[in-house]
Structure formats: structure tokens, C-alpha cells
Structure 1
Amino acid sequence: MIQETIVTTLSAAGIVHIAPMGVHVDGVDFSILPFKPSTTLNNLLETGAAVVNCCDDVRIFAGCLTGRRDWALKSAERIKGFYLAASLAHTELKLQCVEDDELRPRLICKAVHTVNHSPFQGFNRAQFAVLEAAILISRLDRLPWDKIQSELDYLGIGLNKCAGDRELEAWAWLMEVIEQRRPGIRLL
């Protein structure tokens, strides 16, 4: 199963990196497949640790893709690292092995500590729309613009029906990036 999460890593120099990422989860085994090159990949290889954050604040997903990475953090308990203060739950991971690949190496990690901070209240369609739009933003160089436009048109339906202030703010950040990258695309 792939879970859309926020991965926090720490460089050897002690600099925190926050990145949205689909993580493959199988019990206590977590596989992280960052594209090369990436800060997440470098940090995990340098330190051998990461934190997977389960979060329902879609502004963090959108923010990380639009240059907004100043999110409150708390110290991890069993590894050297940090988790998001806004996370509903976090799992601290230690790197077990690396399956190298030219494009996306597989970093296989083991869960060493999991904490639930708040109950999950469920997602609404606007949160889903923002998550999917964030994934589109991360693939702007790999997808045709007509595909991006048709996806945004569809996602806008759920956004318009269900969005609260957080979702509208996150969506606006993502649409700013789209506008900068592709003038003339129809935005909601």
C-alpha cells in the first residue's frame, strides 16, 4: 500500500528537510523511493534515519512544493531527527538496505517507534483535490499540459464543494506555481 505522507529527514550537518512523498508500507517495513537527485535521498543515505508523518493539513503538502517549508517541528524520540508538530501520527524509521536504481532507488526502512498524537477525522474531497494537485505539481516536467488541465478541472469540482480555509489556501499556492510554469492554463 502507498500512503501519501510527509517525510522528514536530517542532513549530517543537522539541517531538516520536509518533503511530501508516497511511501510504500508493509507492516513495519517502509520503502521510500525518492527520485535522483533529491535531498531526502541524500539525507537518508547520510544519516540512515527518517520520520514518516501522517498529516491531514494539506497546506503542508502544498507548501513543501511551493517553497513553504517553515513548519513547526518536534524532536523524534528514538532516532536523531524531527517530526511535524501538526502530524496526527509519526513513525521513526531506520534505514535497513538500499536497492539502487538510476532513477528511483528503493530505501527499505524499519519502523522503530510509532506515536499517535491526534485522532484522524477523515478526509474531505477538497483535501483529496489538493493532494492530487500537489502530485501533479511534482510531475510538471513529466506530464503533458492537457493532462494537467483535465485533472485540475476535475479536482476543482471537489474543491469547490468541500473546501475550508486551509484547502483554499493550499490550492492557491499550487495554482501560483502552475501560473508561473504555464501561462494561459485555465485555473479555478
Structure 2
Amino acid sequence: MNDQIFETVVTTQSSEGVAHIAPMGVRYQAGRVVLMPFKPSSTLANILATQHAVLNLITDTRVFAGCVTGRRAWPLVPAERIHGQRLACALNHVELRLDELLDDAQRPVLRMARVHEAGHAPFVGMNRAQAAVVEGAVLVSRLHMLDDQKIASEMAYLQIAIDKTAGPGEHEAWGWLQQAIAAHREKAVAR
């Protein structure tokens, strides 16, 4: 089993056609994409309802930061072979169909078959600020589990990459993450 995890964004759609966008670490095993969404989650409910999802491979890290800070309205376009949508900013996307479900009380394993893949823009590489934003988004998604000192030290280290390599998009995303951390701290002090 390959335990390497790749940070992506998964788009799903409810049976009523309502799109949901979620950053998600995925694994690739034996030609399939393995998703492990938490229970309960919109991603899991949508895949169980429709049997489909779209894997979006992106470098616009504002999507990662936006999703964990309440900014989930990103431009979408229709998928090509399944009933679903992909991110307009995706460099590549993979349309998926549920192939196997291994249920679990907390994180079921969804093995997804590839239905269709398409490229939309060249991958020119990643800068360190993009990686820092993704890691910062992971930290923000876990604010309720981490102590303030760990968050502060990790963000201070990640700030180095932002300062050295960020473009306008990464600066915007980083600002959203910093705002979310500040709001979390204010809530904690108010308690």
C-alpha cells in the first residue's frame, strides 16, 4: 500500500446538483484514487449519493486557504463524462466513479475508478510559498486540536517561505489564514 498522500481539491455534487469543494489528501493505489473523507461530511454524503467526484490538481493555493476559512465560492465548469463539476483553475482534473467502499466509523475508504482525465494548463512548478500556504491551511483546519504555541511556531517558520517566494495569490491566501488564526485566538481569550 502506498501511504504517500497528495494534496488536492475534490469537487462533489449533491443529488440536487449543489456543488461542494473540499481540499483533501488522496492516495494513488493500483490505478485508483483513494479518498478517506471524515464522517459526517458533505464530500462523503455526495459521493455516496451520486457515486462520483472530481479530483482537481491545482497550484492556486487560494482555493486551499479559502476553503478552510469559509471562502468556498470558486468558479466551476461542467465535468466532461460524469454528472459533476471541476474547478475552472484546475491544471488537470480526473473524473471519478466509486468503485469500492470500505466502511469505517470515522473515515471510510473510497476507492475511486478513473473515468476521464484532462489537462487544461501547463504545470510550471511550485514555489515554496505555495507549499507554505497548503501547510498553513492544514494548520487552520486543525486549530481546535492544536495548542497556540505549536500554531505560532509553525506559522512563523512558514512565514519565511511566504516572505521569500510568494506572489499576490499566495499573499492573499496567507492573509486569510492569519485572519482565521487571529479570530480563533480572540474566541479563546473571550471564553
Partner of 1:74: 77
Instruction: Confirm whether residue 94 of structure 1 aligns to residue 94 of structure 2.
Output: no
Partner of 1:179: 182
Partner of 1:154: 157
**Equivalent of residue 48 in structure 2, options 45, 49, 54:** 45
For 2:136 and 2:46, the matched residues in 1 are separated by 26
For 1:27 and 1:178, the matched residues in 2 are separated by 39
For 2:68 and 2:50, the matched residues in 1 are separated by 23
- C-alpha displacement of 1:144: 2.3
Partner of 2:120: 117
- C-alpha displacement of 1:43: 0.5
Q: Which AA in structure 2 matches 1:12?
A: S
- C-alpha displacement of 1:86: 0.4
Gaps of 5+ in 1: none
Deviations 1:77-116 (A, max 9, x none): 1110000110000000000121111211111101110001
Partner of 1:141: 144
State the superposition RMSD in angstroms.
1.4
**Equivalent of residue 88 in structure 2, options 79, 85, 88:** 85
Q: Which AA in structure 1 matches 2:180?
A: V
TM-score by length of 2: 0.93
Q: Which AA in structure 2 matches 1:155?
A: L
**Equivalent of residue 18 in structure 1, options 13, 16, 21:** 21
TM-score by length of 1: 0.94
- C-alpha displacement of 1:27: 4.9
